[in-house]
Amino acid sequence: MARDKGQRRPKAETPKGFRDYFGAEVSERKAMLDAIAAVYHRYGFDPLETSAVETVEALGKFLPDVDRPNEGVFAWQEDDADWLALRYDLTAPLARVAAQYRNDLPTPYRRYAMGPVWRNEKPGPGRFRQFYQCDADTVGSGSVAADAEICAMLADALEEVGIPRGDYVVRVNNRKVLNGVMEVAGVLDPADPSKFEHERGIVMRAIDKIDRLGEAGVRALIGKGRMDESGDYTDGAGLSDAQADVVLGFMSARRDTGAETVARLRELAGGSVIGTEGVDELEQIAELLAAQGYGPDRIVIDPSVVRGLGYYTGPVFEAELTFEILDEKGRPRQFGSVAGGGRYDDLVKRFTGQSVPATGVSIGVDRLLAALHAKGRMQADTRGPVVVTVMDRDRMAEYQAMATELRQAGIRAEVYLGNPKNFGNQLKYADKRNSPAAVIQGGDEAAKGVVQIKDLILGAKIAAEASHEEWKSQPAQTEVPREDLVAEVRRILGSV
């Protein structure tokens, strides 16, 4: 008789394109987001939390990866009714909120939001289907002063978290200028904006990949098409060589000064009304930022910035980190973009039918965290709790009382709750928890009214670096009166 194998056990693995975050990573992310939130708060922005799930209709179809199922979102149908989806960014939900609560919210409405988003895209090295974003937006102001303010605030936020001036640059462009150039190139008809819409989408996504693909790769994408290293073929926009030359000329229009760049863009936009309007806006943004002290060492006009999302209608911006890191093969390369955004005046209009101007920025949280790690600039306290070891199970209440005293003094602490039989395992546990200290009190210590405190950070340092004589002169374990427990632990924490 065949043996019943029973139900197959599920695999203990994360789905492809997803990852788990553990203690130190979560603590570091929170510390960084708190620092960014403090900057946004100083600028007068209020926090907002929206649902992770929206209707597909409310989200709209704006993702750059249009060849993926469901236009790049994770979606499902709700009992033969609405299609629902996980949000792919924090801007589309904001547009819904601005429309839904338009009679209750102040105008302009200034908000910031932080949280996970999901995209049904092809995962790759460092590219996940779930990731964190950190946004700030102004809804209800058509003034380019709002765009300039977002750029200034982004620069301040980067410096606040530990990216010094000189290691980043905020690059600013305007979709209207690009539209003017595409009008000159013959892929935009002002009388029929829907004409060539598909081709323009391919062009914008191609330009947005200039750093990764180079000029040849972009030319292929805006021309006949391109095959990537994996063998996947992407159809191009079908532009002729002459049309491609106009677009690529726009991408290389940056000059030594903002004024020279603006002058070159005026030439490229030719007689295009929309293009000239975009150049005027860039000029105003540059003047506003200069008046506030944000010069080209922090913020520059750069025509190569277009942003991949389809809802931008005016100024667009991107924060790029300019310092070098080593890739997986040990080769130096620049870190690249960590934030981007722009003006999206038509997004709320989808709900209300009325034009509602808006502008904002989104910071890629995971990428910015990786950058801070690469430069050794993480400031979060990732130390684990002080571990109170258990020498005698019958005295558990006394050990819990020690932990309580430490907690009431504002010190992270826990009692070891595993099997206390092997004391060495308790110290191994403390090491895994990255604990700064361990508290030890056996029967002899209790009788004398003392505790032993083992400085685990100093102990590890001495073991790794010190000579035998130095090791003897710097004991990593001290005995103090029981009533001095909190003071001694504070001393240890203050020295590491």
Count of CA atoms in the C-beta half-sphere (13 A) of 172: 35
User: Domain 386-495 is in which class?
Assistant: alpha beta
- Whether the predicted pLDDT of 488 surpasses 90: yes
β-strands 332-343, 225-227: how paired?
unpaired
The 10 Å CB-count burial string (b at 16+, else e) for 399-417 is beebbebbeeeebbbbbbe
CA angle 55, 59, 60 (to 5 degrees): 115
How is the chain split into domains, by residue range?
23-374, 386-495
Q: What tokens does 422 get?
A: 């092997």
For 187, which DSSP code?
S
Give the C-alpha separation, 414 to 437, whole Å: 11
Peptide bond just before 108 cis, omega within 30 deg: yes
pLDDT of residue 62: 61
- Whether the predicted pLDDT of 85 surpasses 80: yes
pLDDT-derived band at 470, boundaries 50, 70, 90? very low
β-strands 437-440, 386-388: how paired?
parallel
Average pLDDT over residues 367-382: 79
pLDDT of residue 361: 96
The length of the chain, given as a count of residues = 496
**Is the fold of 23-374 the same as that of 386-495?**
no
Give the C-alpha separation, 303 to 111, whole Å: 28
CATH code that applies to domain 23-374: 3.30.930.10
pLDDT-derived band at 328, boundaries 50, 70, 90? low
The residue to which tokens 């992770």 are assigned? 52
DSSP string spanning 268-301? HHTT-HHHHHHHHHHHHHHHHHHHTT--TTTEEE
